[in-house]
Amino acid sequence: MIRKSDHHRLTSALPDAETHCEGFRQTRQSQRLALVEDYVELIADLIAEGREARQVDIAQRMGVAQPTVAKMLARLTEQGLISRKPYRGVFLTEAGERLAQESRERHETVENFLKMLGVDERTARIDAEGIEHYVSAETLDAFRRALQSGKLPA
């Protein structure tokens, strides 16, 4: 329950409608892209490890059932991000490789920034997995500048 004193504080901090709307719009767009980015990044990681990106491995690492992976792989194929060969694994197209690289770079920046703040390595990795999809380019640039300087701005 919100007390009257808290209500005033909360309502006085309410942004203008356009700014408020843009925040929600950006979040919805990020939600739509997050799963796609997670899949292509995982596929790239499996391939980079010298293994084929097989549906069973993707399901195990994503913590979902194989039919869920099959649906997403069909979607990624339609979007031109992967190609599949019968009785073989999944392969990234050039567009898929670019998206995986961008996602990996965002993840690494966020993870390294969290570690710079003193977050332990395991927690930073887990938290970065979610944050990477929602952070703006401006915020990522600020994270990168802080990482390069080795200190947080005052």
Residue 80 is predicted with a pLDDT of: 96
pLDDT band at 16 (very low <50, low <70, confident <90, very high): confident
Average pLDDT over residues 136-142: 92
Long-range contacts at 130-136 (CB < 8 A, ≥ 24 apart) = 132/37, 132/103, 132/106, 132/107, 133/30, 133/31, 133/33, 133/34, 133/37, 133/106, 134/26, 134/27, 134/30, 134/34, 135/106, 135/110, 136/26
In this predicted model, which residue has the larger pLDDT, 31 or 86?
86
Top CATH class of 20-149 equals mainly alpha
Q: The whole model's pTM is what?
A: 0.75
* Residue 36 pLDDT > 70: yes
Instruction: Note the pLDDT tens digit of each residue in 52-69.
Output: 899 999 999 999 999 999
Tokens for 7?
């209500």
7 falls in which pLDDT band (50, 70, 90)?
low
Domain extents for the chain? 20-149
86/37 Cα distance (integer angstroms): 24
95: closest CA among 76, 111, 113, 110? Answer: 76
Average pLDDT over the chain, rounded to an integer: 86
Q: Is 70 or 13 the better-scoring residue by pLDDT? A: 70
Instruction: Average the pLDDT over 106-110 and give the result.
Output: 94
Please tell me the predicted confidence (pLDDT) of residue 3. Answer: 60
